[in-house]
Amino acid sequence: SSPAMAAVFALALRAAPSSIPILLEGETGVGKEWLADAIRAAGPRAKKPFVTVNCGALPHALAESILFGHEKGAFTDAGERHRGKFVEADGGTLFLDEVGELPRDLQVKLLRVLQKGEVDPVGARAAVSTDVRVISATNRDLAEEVRSGRFREDLYYRLNVLPIRIPPLRDRRAEIADLCSRFISGFSESEGRTSPLVLSGAALRLLQRHDWPGNVRQLQNAIHRAVVLAESEVLGVGDFPQIAALVAACDGETAGFSPSDTPADGAAGGAGPSPIAGALAGFDAFGEVRTVEAVEADLIRLAMVRYDGRMTEIARRLAIGRSTLYRKMRLYSIAGAGAASDDGTQSETLRETSGFAGPS
């Protein structure tokens, strides 16, 4: 664990034996639900229910019923009695994920439940007592939400007795190697792989360079996809084309890898896709599809480096005429459109101006 997460764990463990309300803060995917469950497991309610509610996914018309329950016939389609999440979690822990998404009218009712320790099921004549430890989580700045009037101040202070902020994965890159190892092992087992998988050094360096806007969840999904599609016992850079594309888009280069990295990293017995080819996947730094023009311009720059500025060879490999190649280079402001000869004498200049640092 990184020093930042060690401090988070220490605070969480100190709070685990009590019933103090905890507010977990952090970006989407940092592991808020995982930490909430770890707090539950380390406390006296470890063997009691752990119930999660995604407040951002609650249908507004049914949210009150889902949280607090309803009696049979309380409303149309209420064919059976429903206990509600608070009663379901009685004696245990209720995890309110994305609590900042709750509408104002439901915030009032949640505050009342937290104050009284009892719920009023829809259509019921009497309140129902509950003993629940509440852990909330948000990826919003709830203090700012309070100032803007979108979140009730009294509810904020009721939930925010002990705030714990989980840092994003980009601030704890030292954990990536261990997380990758755990995810590879877990997914290899769940996907029924008979041979063990390992992560190449080049692939690990790539993953450590990415900023992971989706945090641990995004890393987990990337590893899962790579494990499922792996054609070798070694996961190389070529097994993470989307990540390579995102790193390349952020850096404006080929993520620090050259074509010669591929055989060395062991993926697919050295015959896997080039890391640079992976960097040309069609995603930008935000994970959105890149324009055809942007991908085409990068492909031309890559070909200029790969074939040492030999325009005839570049045009042949790209399956276009030389005049078309020159026209596209001018269109995309790619330097060297008229500078290179077919013997590659200007290749060093092209390496420097094309935007790709190919093999020297």
Q: Report the top-level CATH class of 3-167.
A: alpha beta
Domains 3-167 and 171-279 share a fold: no
- The answer, yes or no, to whether residue 74 has pLDDT greater than 70, is no
Backbone torsions φ then ψ of 128, nearest 5 degrees = -120, 125
Who's near 59: CB < 8 A, 6+ residues apart? Answer: 66
* Average pLDDT of span 68-78: 72
- The answer, yes or no, to whether residue 35 has pLDDT greater than 70, is yes
Structurally, at CATH architecture level, domain 171-279 sits in Orthogonal Bundle (1.10)
In 3D space, the residue among 224, 281, 225 whose CA is nearest the CA of residue 248 turns out to be 281
Residue 190's pLDDT band, with cuts at 50, 70 and 90, is very high
Strands 133-138 and 22-25: parallel
Residue 355's pLDDT band, with cuts at 50, 70 and 90, is very low
Yes or no: say if 94 and 86 are a contact pair by the CB < 8 Å rule: yes
pLDDT of residue 353: 39
Higher model confidence: residue 47 or residue 333?
Answer: 47
pLDDT of residue 282: 62
- The answer, yes or no, to whether residue 337 has pLDDT greater than 60, is no
Helix (H) or strand (E) holding 188: helix 176-190
In 3D space, the residue among 37, 38, 39 whose CA is nearest the CA of residue 16 turns out to be 39
**111-115, 181-185, 198-202, 296-300: which range is least confident on average?**
296-300
Residue 346's pLDDT band, with cuts at 50, 70 and 90, is very low
* Average pLDDT of span 163-175: 96
Measured CA to CA, the distance from residue 239 to residue 111 in angstroms comes to 48
Who's near 78: CB < 8 A, 6+ residues apart? Answer: 65, 70, 71, 72, 122, 123
Measured CA to CA, the distance from residue 107 to residue 315 in angstroms comes to 64
**DSSP SS3 for 68:** helix
Yes or no: say if 204 and 167 are a contact pair by the CB < 8 Å rule: no
Share of the chain above pLDDT 90, in %: 57
**Domain boundaries in the chain?**
3-167, 171-279, 292-354
Measured CA to CA, the distance from residue 79 to residue 178 in angstroms comes to 49
Measured CA to CA, the distance from residue 134 to residue 153 in angstroms comes to 17
* Average pLDDT of span 299-306: 79
- The answer, yes or no, to whether residue 214 has pLDDT greater than 80, is yes
pLDDT (tens digit, 9 = 90+) per residue, 120-134?
887 777 888 999 999
Q: How does the average pLDDT of the chain come out, rounded? A: 82
* Average pLDDT of span 80-86: 83
| Residue 257, both tokens | 């890898």
Higher model confidence: residue 193 or residue 305?
Answer: 193
- The answer, yes or no, to whether residue 80 has pLDDT greater than 90, is no
Q: How many residues does the chain have?
A: 360
Q: What is the pTM of this model?
A: 0.69
Cα angle: 54, vertex 55, 56; to 5 degrees: 90
In 3D space, the residue among 114, 109, 103, 108 whose CA is nearest the CA of residue 136 turns out to be 114
